[in-house]
Amino acid sequence: MNFSYLTDPAHWDPSNPGSIPNLILSHLGYTALALLIGAVIALPVGLYIGHTGKGSFIAINAGNAGRSLPTLGLLMLMVTLLGLGLLPVLIALTVLVIPPILTSAYAGMRNLDHRVVDAARGMGMRPWQVLSRVELPMALPIMLSGFRNAALQVVATATVAAAVGLGGLGRLLIDGLAVNDYSRVLAGAIVVAALAVLVDLFLALIQRLIVSPGLKGS
């Protein structure tokens, strides 16, 4: 094993645009942007379907359909259709995060204990209060696990996106393979793997902080 690329201080210099910290930042930037756009689209739809029960078919099958889409094919399809650039990649990444977010929002709303919702109504809560103070907090654990899945998926796919000219940590893997610089490939693999694990841990921590303590019974 050759760690020379990883341990070379020059590759950690933030003033160099291709350095590891900058690649991490751009990687996280794509991830956050795709998750944000995906959540804005998928959350309301998933919550609406889960709340009303209309269109359950879409929500149930979205998850499976999303998993079966080959990420690399989708990326290359978008880039071939729209040309190189951030937009096609962002569209592909967003398409990938929508199914898990939508399906989990739906599942979270569907798995609510209806007695609790009835009790909230019986206490005189308005529909909006029932949604914001009872249904959403109770659906949160399942919704967040879907969000974590989506985040992992984007971090992985943003790596692949280097193959279609995007920045991010995939650059180390793709460029390293192209010039047979195995030390660079190894550095990329280690940093990407660590980043994915850290992102997941970070989201798990957030989940622990914002989920109501009353819902944490084993």
Partner 1 sequence: MIQYLTNNHVIVWQALQEHLYLALLPILFGFAIALPLGYLAVRFTWLYHPLINTFGVLYSIPSLALFVFLPVILGTKVLSPVNVVVALTIYTVALLARTVADGLRAVDPVVVQAATAMGYRRTRRLVDVELPIALPVILAGLRVATVSNISLVSVGSLIGIGGLGQLFTRGFQLFYLEPILIGVILSVVLAGIADLIIVLVQRAVTPWTRAA
Q: Which one, of 125, 154, 144, lies nearest residue 203 by Cα? A: 144
Contacts of partner 1 in 43-102 (CB under 8 A): 64-65, 67-74, 76-77, 79-81
CA 112 → CA 30, 105, 124, 136, distances in Å? 33, 11, 19, 9
- Residues sharing a CB contact under 8 Å with residue 166, sequence separation 6 or more, in sequence order: 30, 86, 89, 158
CA 87 → CA 32, 153, 166, 168, distances in Å? 14, 18, 10, 15
Measured from the CB atom, the residue of 64 and 132 that comes closer to partner 1 is 64
| Cα–Cα distance, 134 to 155 (Å, whole number) | 32
Q: Which one, of 214, 57, 49, 70, lies nearest residue 143 by Cα? A: 49
How far apart are CB 14 and partner 1 at their closest, in Å? 23
- Residues sharing a CB contact under 8 Å with residue 208, sequence separation 6 or more, in sequence order: none
Query: What is the x/- site pattern for partner 1, positions 186-205, by CB under 8 A?
Result: x-xxx-xx--xx-xx-----
How far apart are CB 125 and partner 1 at their closest, in Å? 34
Considering CB under 8 A, how many residues would be counted as binding partner 1?
40
Contacts of partner 1 in 117-156 (CB under 8 A): 152, 155-156
Measured from the CB atom, the residue of 51 and 184 that comes closer to partner 1 is 184
Stretch that binds partner 1, among 45-53, 110-118, 178-186, 209-217 (CB under 8 A): 178-186
Q: Which residues bind partner 1 (CB under 8 A)?
A: 1, 64-65, 67-74, 76-77, 79-81, 152, 155-157, 159-160, 163-164, 170, 173-174, 177, 182, 185-186, 188-190, 192-193, 196-197, 199-200
